[in-house]
Structure 1
Amino acid sequence: MDVSIVRPIFVSRPTWVPPQHRSGLDNFKKLLGAHGLEPRSVGVTDHPSQAPLDEVIKLMGRCYGAIILGIPQIEVQSGKLKGDEITSPFSLGTEWNHIEAALAYSLQLPVLVIHDVTVGRGIFDRGAANAFIYAVDFSSDAWALTSNISGALAAWCDRLKPE
């Protein structure tokens, strides 16, 4: 792989990241850089001059692939799910994860999905889309450095949209 050529990739992630997840995310950005990838995200690296959805579509059209990061944003501790009482707390990523994953999928971009072990539903459910899906502990500083994630990223890079 020629890392002298930098390829932009779309990264779906929240603009706000819990403090305990920031170090691992920084390590992941370094891993992307080592693969010659430039992470691009609306509200993080790119700031909208239009409606956010229009900006996402425009930015994604210039990217070679998409990575969806399911970082906990909403904690569900009680209530009902499909009429049944919630007995085990769980987390949800940002709703933009699902929108951006669907857009990437419709643009036929290679999609890699990585989510915190507490995050579920939608795009984070196995079988929801034909995409690599990995559950990790985002509170670990080293999640991006595991062989599971580095191997998944290498395989995903092989599927990136051609130049």
Structure 2
Amino acid sequence: MNERNIFVSVGGTATEKQESFVQAIEDRLRSENLVPTTVGRNTFSSDSPIKAVIECMNESSGAIIIALERTYFPHGLEKRGGTKEKELSEKKYATPWNQIEAALAYSNGLPIMVIVEEGVQEEGLLEKGYDWYVMSVKSDPSTLNSNEFNGVLSSWKRKVESYQTKKIKSFNQEDLAKLSVGEFIQILRPSQLWAILVAIAALVSGAFAIGSKLFG
């Protein structure tokens, strides 16, 4: 009960090691009563990917960006042909969707946590120095047991809870009328949800009792 949806930005995994790492993060979130949602992984839509991402974020209380190696360049050139041409070697880059989804999460005001696979280029919104903490870690489930990860997760989770509280307070009666059933259930406290379920059960029971008397 009282679970929070969390948008997880992660590309399709390339290796079993990456997949195990992502699954470990998802399992850890679930153990914290946080529900990981990723478009194309566990959430699907007939709409365009960007629209599906936006809708998913609107129902989320936080975002985690998992930047894994997608592209590898053993050799290359930066600013090729120019006076500042520079040789590059052993460069690893994450999916550009990490940048897009991080920007959307930030524009939505969602608390953000960034996890970058060790060796992947930290650039754009994956760089340190923004309003969120960037962890560069090995893509191994054991990483989730470190003091750094546990501390950052705990701090970020408090921000998620604060965001959800502010989100609830910002709803007025007109806003509540626009909520989907899933969104409405998400903002209820467990005691409120149980009270509603009990009331519904009583109504259904009463309806059957009246029906049996009228038509029995």
Would you call these one fold, judging by a TM-score over 0.5?
Answer: yes
How far apart are the structure 1 equivalents of 2:147 and 2:26? 16
* Matched position secondary structure for 1:79: strand
Q: Is the 8 A contact 2:117 2:137 kept in 1?
A: yes
- With structure 1 as the length reference, what TM-score do the two structures score? 0.90
Q: Are 1:30 and 2:27 matched, yes or no?
A: yes
Give the gaps of 5 or more residues in structure 1: none
Following TM superposition, by how much is the alpha carbon of 1:90 offset from its aligned partner in structure 2, in angstroms?
2.1
Q: CA offsets, 1:26-67, max 9 Å, x none? A: 221121112110000000111121110011011101000000
- The structure with the larger Rg is 2
Superposed, 1:1-163 pairs within 5 Å as 4-82=1-79, 83-87=85-89, 89-120=90-121, 121-127=123-129, 129-138=130-139, 140-160=140-160, 161-163=163-165
Higher helix share: 2
Highest RCO, 1 vs 2 (Cα 8 Å, sep ≥ 6): 1
For residues 106-150 of structure 1, what are the alpha-carbon distances to aligned partners after superposition, in whole Å with 9 as ceiling and x for unaligned?
A: 0011010001111112222112x3111100011x23112222112
Tell me, in whole angstroms, the C-alpha distance in 1 between the residues paired with 2:23 and 2:43.
17
Distance 1:145 1:162 in 2: 26
> What do you get for the CA RMSD once the two structures are aligned?
1.3
CA distance in 2, matches of 1:60, 1:6: 15
Q: Which runs of 5+ in 2 are unaligned?
A: 80-84, 166-216
TM-score by length of 2: 0.69
Percent identity of equivalent pairs: 29
